[in-house]
Structure 1
Amino acid sequence: MAKQSIHDIQEMRIRTLTMHSAIAPENLQFVNNHQKWTSSLIWAVLVVTFSTSFVMGVNNGGPNQYNSFIIPWARGYPFPCQKADGVAQWVATVWWGCNYTATSYFNKTGYYYLPRIPVDKQVVQSIIDSMHSICLVIGGTIGGLTGQYWYLLFTRRNAICVSMVFQVVASILMVIPLEIYNGYKKGDPDRNEINYALENKDIAVAILYISRFLSGWSSGLCCVVSTIYLMDISPRPMRGKVVTFHQLFVVIGLLMGQIVGLPWLLGQHDKWNWGMSWIGLFSFAGCFLLWTLPESPRWLVQERQRTEAAASLRILRQVNLIDAELDEIEREEATVARQNISIYEMFILDRYRWPLLTSIALNAIQQLSGINTVFFYSNETLSDIGFVDDKVYWGVLSTGIINLIMTAAAVKFVEIFGRRPLILYPLIIITIVMMLLCFSIQYHIPILSLVLILIFIAVSAVGLGPIPYIYPNEVFTIDMRPAALSISIFASWLCNTIINLLFPLLKSVLAGYTFLIFCLFCTTAFVLLWFKMPETKRKKLSEIEAYWGYIN
């Protein structure tokens, strides 16, 4: 019998499916070609993660080191000695010769120190002070939600370039604010110098916020486009491991942002704009290096470009015998009943409800566990619990180092222990740690607080760090992954936005007891995921769906 075309096979199998079924049949045999790392796969992972994931990490980790400079600057006090108490004052003393023991002598114009905020305005001011971080997470929220639409305009690979372009523009804009609005003069400025410095303040602050918004958009977008591309180019047995590299390079970038933000490097009042803009060089290079990578073979199959898909697989696997893997991709694609399903329908249809809700829950608890309050506000938190001067910086660096070590371990753990245990058991530990952290912060026990923060980071890194990016790609059919991942990432950045808006307010009211709220979130997520999250490690989609009772 003449061999049927791929198109005929697709049409025949699609007709055998029910309206809402989009799964591989039970007798479909998956290929286990025991693929290992190849130089082409390593190069593709490095280009994508360095130019998007690493950049996202720097954008998250760096600003924490610069908050003590950005806050006075944005309020209208850009001069070196205009610092609040704490590490910023230490930096001003060591690097700019500010003499805080003789302020009555130097403070002729009232611009030698940072005026205290009245009690009735502290809550509003704390939100305004966090606005550059809020702009980042709002941008991330939009980037995550719109990620699926870039795939409609571009290919899998080319959509990644959009994320890079956003960051390049953001980095160029970040250079400008401190060039047009600064107070580099040492000592007490006179009134003319003050007026001259403030001349372009509003424009500079607006550009800062726009830059942070674009950086956030780039970060949110990369969580969708980069992770799907990494999933597509990976051999099936290695998908969890390869996608985990997205989170690993986010963490490497976070640590690098902390290091560059040290006062011995760019962590000073006249250099922080460069500390937040240099990362655009990686995105700029990525815009060119991206074209050396093969296109997603799965996307090419979807576009019925079999010859191109085969060529892409040969480059990635560095072997000519790729027919078995290509046939597997084609068989999976042939069973996908493509439908125009709205977000509302994804929630109400049994076929998609629990995959979507558990994906959203994972991405939401990633933020509602409180992890980014550590990385966005660790400088301030460590100062509040008793760390002084340069000890604050070493405490901040310790959070980045433990995060990197445990995320590197997660690359192995996700395939050894599976997804479900690495989510559920850490949530129990996080809940206990948060309760103890409330006690240690309230009673100002610095070393205990730091140890608890490090434990919190360690257990979060092995599960809540990488798995929310992996899981949606494993519980949805190929055609639904971009939309499902976009919705999940949107939930993550939305919760991140809420936390950034409310944390300063809650902290001013509840102090250390704020962390009890995170305990409540973790407990709620644990109960939901205990009953509704299946194990997905090396399982067929039909086996995963059987957990929810979608298949008899």
Structure 2
Amino acid sequence: MDKPQNDHPADHKQSITACLLSAAFFGALGSSFIYGYNLSVVNAPALFIKAFYNTTWIERYGEPLAAETATLLWSVTVSIFAIGGLLGALAVSIILKVLGRKGTLLLNNGFAVIAALLLTLGERAKSFEMLIIGRLIIGVNSGIALSALPMYLGEITPRHIRGSIGQFNSILICLGVFTGQVLGLPELLGQESRWSYLFSFLALPAILQLCVLPFLPESPRYLLIERRDEAGAERAFQRFLGKKDVSQELEEVHAEARAQENQHMASMLQLLRSPAVRWQLITIIITMACYQLCGLNAIWYYTNGILRNAGFAENIIPYITLTTGAIETLAAIISVSIVTLNQSNVRFWA
């Protein structure tokens, strides 16, 4: 049996700092949480939103909304969130390069606040177009967030706890889904007179992130490689890691920068043609495709309708829906425990 070794003794002694924990929690709260919330928030008020569309159509054109048009409008309202996510994901690399990781997250809060206003005021303005545009904008917010946040967390976190801190992303997504289901209960905001306030809640996580994130450091890697600010990178490492001597961490980033200078940046076509990464690409593509095509997002969007068509009583549908979110959140928390345990075992037997 191999003897336990400890190649990185400092890793075991170093604790998680308040600065690092705040960055992980509030970063995920204003990013992943909002994404998860938007996956489930349209489910509970679906009937009320459709009724609003029909009422608005009658006031404008003097006739009820045709069934085909109603289906089309509702489908666009739901699915345009994904289109916005695609646009955000495509634009995020440019924003990250200009504003940095933290700056991108801060800018992204503006999209969340604008979307919250459009979605909340659409009913009062009698404009279903405002709801559709609001869903598009919050989709852009989610596309940016799900790209920028993992990068920020990965670059500010010590190697030995990177997996655990990275789980804030998935846990806050599940909590966002669960929160949307809770607030959508009939006893809370899942009523015809209150459904628009479900979208007002979007602004709260964004505002909380705006209040906290400016006081936290930028990614040391971004400061060192992109901005050539070694003093700023050193201060950022010191705050995130809670120690004065960060020379080893700085040298690791320097080594990464030197390696990047000697590397040729491959295009997407070159990447797809390269035999060296073919199996990695196949693994990633199949895994992500299965995750997206398993129907999970459709379940979040249409859970109440699915259960209603299945014959469940109307008064218990919201609570069945709530259990799905609770189980997913529990599974995410358990996965963090498993990842943390595996990391500990790997370090112990390395």
TM bin (shorter chain): 0.7 to 0.9
Which secondary structure does the structure 2 equivalent of 1:388 belong to?
coil
Q: Which one-letter code corresponds to 1:376 in the other structure?
A: Y
Q: What pairs with 1:202-351 in structure 2 (closer than 5 Å)?
A: 204-303=127-226, 304-336=228-260, 337-351=262-276
Following TM superposition, by how much is the alpha carbon of 1:300 offset from its aligned partner in structure 2, in angstroms?
A: 1.9
Q: What's the counterpart of residue 45 of structure 1?
A: 24
Corresponding residue for residue 56 of structure 1 = 35
Query: Higher relative contact order by CA 8 Å / sep ≥ 6: 1 or 2?
Result: 2
Instruction: Work out the CA distance in 2 between the residues paired with 1:364 and 1:416.
Output: 28
Determine the structure 2 residue equivalent to 1:159. Answer: 104
Q: Which amino acid is the alignment partner of residue 241 of structure 1?
A: S
Q: Given the two structures, how large is their TM-score scaled by the length of structure 1? A: 0.56
CA distance in structure 1 between the partners assigned to 2:272 and 2:66 by the alignment: 49
**Please, which of 294, 306, 315 is the counterpart of residue 381 of structure 1?**
306
Distance (Å, rounded) in 2 between the aligned partners of 1:148 and 1:362: 23
Deviation at 1:39, TM superposition (A): 0.9
Q: CA–CA distance in 1 between the matches of 2:107 and 2:263?
A: 26
1:4-25: CA deviation from partner (whole Å, max 9, x where unpaired): xxxxxxxxxxxxxxxxxxxxxx
- Equivalent residue in structure 2 for 1:364, among 289, 297, 312: 289
The within-5 A match list for 1:435-514 is none
Residue 166 and residue 338 in structure 1: after superposition, are their counterparts in 2 closer, same or farther (change >3 A)?
A: farther
Q: State the Cα deviation string for residues 495-550 of structure 1 (Å, max 9, x = none).
A: xxxxxxxxxxxxxxxxxxxxxxxxxxxxxxxxxxxxxxxxxx88xxxxxxxxxxxx
What letter is aligned with 1:331?
A
**Structure 1 residues 115, 330: CA separation in 2 closer, same or farther (over 3 Å shift)?**
closer
Provide the residue aligned with 1:173 in structure 2.
Answer: 118
SS at match of 1:253: helix
Residue 392 (structure 1) aligned to one of 306, 313, 317? 317
Does the aligned pair in 2 maintain the 1:72–1:78 contact within 8 Å?
A: no
Distance 1:361 1:143, change over 3 A: farther
One-letter amino acid of the structure 2 residue matched with residue 333 of structure 1: A
- Measure the CA separation in 2 of the matches of 1:221 and 1:352: 26
Deviations 1:111-155 (A, max 9, x none): 9xx9994xxx5xx75343222111111111211222222122211
Task: Tell me which structure has the larger Cα radius of gyration.
Answer: 1
Cα-to-partner distance string for 1:187-225 (whole Å, 9 max, x where unaligned): xxxxxxxxxxxxxxxxx1111100000001101110000
**395-404 or 356-365: which moved more?**
356-365
| One-letter amino acid matched to 2:155 | D
CA 1:162/1:345 → structure 2, altered by over 3 Å: closer, same or farther?
A: farther
Residue 360 of structure 1 deviates from its aligned partner by: 3.1
- For residue 346 of structure 1, report the CA deviation from its aligned partner: 1.9
Pair 1:115–1:156, CA change in 2 (3 A): closer
1:144-155 aligned within 5 A: 144-155=89-100
1:178/1:270 contact within 8 Å kept:
no
Aligned AA for 2:179? M
1:251-288 CA distance string (max 9 Å, x none): 11111111111121111122211111222122133234
Letter in 1 for 2:309: D
How many pairs were matched up? Answer: 333
1:33 maps onto 2:47 in alignment: no
User: How many angstroms apart in 1 are the aligned matches of 2:313 and 2:81?
Assistant: 28
Q: For the structure 1 residues 367 and 31, does the alpha-carbon distance in structure 2 shift closer, same or farther, using more than 3 Å as the test?
A: farther
Q: In the alignment, is the contact (CA less than 8 A) between 1:310 and 1:322 conserved in 2?
A: yes
Residue 130 of structure 1 corresponds to 75
Partner amino acid, structure 2, of 1:147: V
| 8 Å Cα contact 1:165-1:284 kept in structure 2 | no
The answer to whether the aligner puts 1:404 opposite 2:339 as a matched pair is: no
Say which structure is richer in helix. 2
Q: Is the 8 A contact 1:56 1:253 kept in 2?
A: yes
Instruction: Give 1:413's aligned residue.
Output: 338
What displacement does 1:351 show? Answer: 4.2
Distance 1:69-1:57 versus aligned 2 partners, 3 A rule? same
Q: Do the aligned partners of residues 297 and 339 (structure 1) sit closer, same or farther apart at CA in structure 2, a change above 3 Å counting?
A: same
1:155 is paired with a residue of what secondary structure?
Answer: helix
Q: Residues 30 and 328 of structure 1 are in contact (CA less than 8 Å); yes or no, is this contact kept in structure 2?
A: no
Partner SS for 1:33: helix
Q: 1:184-199 maps to which residues of 2 (within 5 A)?
A: none
Q: CA deviation at 1:417?
A: 5.3
Q: Is residue 52–residue 123 contact of structure 2 (8 Å, CA) maintained in 1?
A: no
Q: C-alpha distance in 2, partners of 1:78/1:278?
A: 27
For the aligned residue pairs, the C-alpha RMSD in angstroms reads 2.6
Partner-residue secondary structure (3-state), 1:76: helix
Partners of 1:31 and 1:158 lie apart in 2 by 34
The answer on whether the counterparts of 1:251 and 1:404 sit within 8 Å (CA) in structure 2 is yes
Please tell me whether the aligned partners of residues 244 and 411 of structure 1 are also in contact (alpha carbons under 8 angstroms): yes
Identity %: 27
